[in-house]
Homo-oligomer: A and B are copies of this chain.
Amino acid sequence: MIGLILAGGIGSRFWPLSRRRRPKQLLDLLGGGSLVAATARRVEPLCGAERTWVCTTEELAAAVAAELPGLDSSRILGEPSGRNTAPAIGWAVRTMPEAARREVIAVMPSDHWVADEDAFREALSRGAAAVERGDHEVVTVGIAPAWPETGYGYLELEAPAEPLGVQPVLRFTEKPDAETAARFKASGRHFWNAGIFLFRGTVLLDLYREHLPELATGIERLVADGLDAARRREIYAGLESISIDYGLMERLDSIGCVVADCGWNDIGSWGLLAEALPADGDGNRTVGDTLAVDARDNLLFADEGAVAVIGVEGLAVVRTGDSVLVVPRERAQDVREIVERLVARGRLDLL
């Protein structure tokens, strides 16, 4: 199987740890190295380093390459600008040699957490087998909801998950409200959309031509011989900015789903990072030099210096070299507002 790791994006919800030049996928949020390196290691038994590709941004390509010393830099692609996932995946697949394009490709984000990596790989293998057999053009990975998350998209299946099966997806649902999320969690037929897809590259490009014809044409122009960097940058900037979920997957009649029982979250915020860390007896999750007195259910994160709290509950307290952030865990997704304010104030020194 070919692995295609998506490592663009800015991850501003991890401010103050994430910065323009050090976004989330380059951070060591869970111990054991950067998230992008952990992602490559996770699929190494399936793909091997020589069959792993990475799509990131031009600006981050060198930093990503430094995290992945076993990967040939020719397979680390740098987008000239950010145009969301449909252009990035289409361009990366089209850039691969034709033999690779004919194989099953697993595309996945670079910044997720997986507890049981064997179970995760088993699900990917099951999905790849279904693609190889031709049962589905595309197979996606679903995760049984561990809590009624309102920040994720959901996949609805016809029937409760079969542990070793591949089942058709009835529909995609974007971020639900709390009531709907609770119903989804209880149903047994709704699964978190992990944003991981398996397909043959050639089939994906056919689907682009059918459902995203302008994007498909743009991608062909990008890989034409003799294109200079300025022209490539210009063409890329003109591609439609659209996610592969919305632009393609949700429009397909038939898409398969493998349910992975592996413990997963997208570490989309400090609050979700907390879910991926072990809790002490008071429910506090800590990284670095921290002290909690009479405090419960907090995330305390210190990449240098010390963080001490007393008498607080449900907070994320994050300390990096020059900045401190305090936010209730349940509002951690709003950290983007901090970043927006800093942008508005011209505080590039903090971004």
Contacts and interface: CB of A to CB of B under 8 A. Distances in A.
Interface of A: 15-16, 291, 293-294, 302, 304-312, 315, 317, 319, 321-328, 331, 334-335, 337-338, 341-342, 347, 350
A112 to B, nearest CB: 24
Contact of A323 (B308, B312, B325, B327): B308
A293 B328 contact: no
Given A15-B308, A308-B338, 10 more contacts: A305-B324, A306-B322, A307-B326, A308-B325, A309-B326, A310-B335, A310-B338, A311-B334, A317-B326, A324-B324
23 contacts: A15-B308, A291-B338, A293-B337, A293-B341, A294-B337, A304-B322, A305-B321, A305-B323, A306-B322, A306-B324, A307-B323, A307-B326, A308-B324, A308-B342, A310-B326, A310-B327, A310-B331, A310-B334, A311-B327, A311-B331, A312-B327, A317-B326, A324-B324
Contacts of A15: 308
A291 B302 CA distance: 19
Contacts of A321: 305
Contacts of A338: 291, 293, 308, 310
A304 B322 CA distance: 8
Contacts of A309: 325-327
Contact of A319 (B293, B312, B324): B324
B312 A328 contact: yes
Nearest to A337: B293
Nearest to A342: B291
Given A321-B305, A350-B306, A326 B312 contact: yes
Contacts of A324: 302, 305-308, 317, 319, 324
A293 B347 CA distance: 15
Contacts of A302: 324
Nearest to A334: B310
A99 B317 CA distance: 57
A269 to B, nearest CB: 12
Contacts of A317: 324, 326
Nearest to A326: B309
Nearest to A302: B324
Contacts of A307: 323-324, 326
A341 B291 contact: yes
A205 to B, nearest CB: 43
A151 to B, nearest CB: 16
A293 B293 CA distance: 26
A326 B328 CA distance: 12
Give 9 closest A-B pairs by Cβ, nearest first.
Answer: A311-B331, A305-B322, A309-B326, A307-B324, A306-B323, A319-B324, A310-B327, A308-B338, A293-B337
